[in-house]
A and B are shown apart, each in its own frame.
Chain A
Amino acid sequence: DGGITQSPKYLFRKEGQNVTLSCEQNLNHDAMYWYRQDPGQGLRLIYYSQIVNDFQKGDIAEGYSVSREKKESFPLTVTSAQKNPTAFYLCASSITRVYNEQFFGPGTRLTVL
């Protein structure tokens, strides 16, 4: 079945640690995205990538980093510089055209202890 997988589902981190969230898609989509969701805030874009080896900052990129070495994979690293990382993180992918439906993964819930 085609789709997007994210792992882990739940992640706990101690303050000062970097953690990496995995996102893999087998939909052959060129574009991939990372969103952060806080209660009452909707989804906010962290980073996006429209092609392998290229990515752009979204609205809230500070304290995060990404890589796009393969078309299928777009991992997100939450660094110790991110002041308030506890949130729900969603990965998505789409084809690259304006009228694009984004397909979402099941999400990773990150909690900083």
Chain B
Amino acid sequence: AQKITQTQPGMFVQEKEAVTLDCTYDTSDPSYGLFWYKQPSSGEMIFLIYQGSYDQQNATEGRYSLNFQKARKSANLVISASQLGDSAMYFCAMSETGAGSYQLTFGKGTKLSVIP
């Protein structure tokens, strides 16, 4: 079974609108972390936002927020006021305490295209 599922291969959003990228995860570990990364066409991976499994509040970083619904095992990324520079691949990832290796498991990604 996939540990991280991103069901939207591609998304379009109008400039200045908000967009939600979906991510569901599967783990039996009570302690885990959820991450979102952005990958522009240049290939670099840019860290956006992090949510810990014990965090009570949803994480926010500027225009990025993470809609964390623990019971549903979902960690959706919300980008407000989209900009043309937001066009990129977006990856959801998870680390688990039980793994003991600090490694991240990535989803397959969502390609976001921002339309002027």
In the bound assembly, the distance between CA atoms of A31 and B45 in angstroms comes to: 17
Q: Is the CB of A96 within 8 A of B102?
A: yes
Question: Is residue A33 within 8 Å, beta carbon to beta carbon, of the partner chain?
Answer: yes
Q: Is the CB of B33 within 8 A of A33?
A: no
Q: Is the CB of A50 within 8 A of B102?
A: yes
Report the nearest A residue to B107, measured CB to CB.
A42
Count of residues in B whose CB is under 8 Å from the partner chain:
28
Question: Is residue B95 within 8 Å, beta carbon to beta carbon, of the partner chain?
Answer: yes
Question: Is residue A60 within 8 Å, beta carbon to beta carbon, of the partner chain?
Answer: no
Residues in A with CB closer than 8 Å to B35 are: 101-102
Residues in B with CB closer than 8 Å to A41 are: 108
Q: Would you give the shortest CB distance from B91 to chain A, in whole angstroms?
A: 6
Most buried by A among B35, B97, B103: B103
Q: Is the CB of A100 within 8 A of B109?
A: no
Q: Mark A31-44, 1 if CB is under 8 A from B, else 0.
A: 10101000011111
Residues of A within 8 A of B (CB): 31, 33, 35, 40-45, 48, 50, 56, 58, 88, 90, 92, 94, 96-107, 109
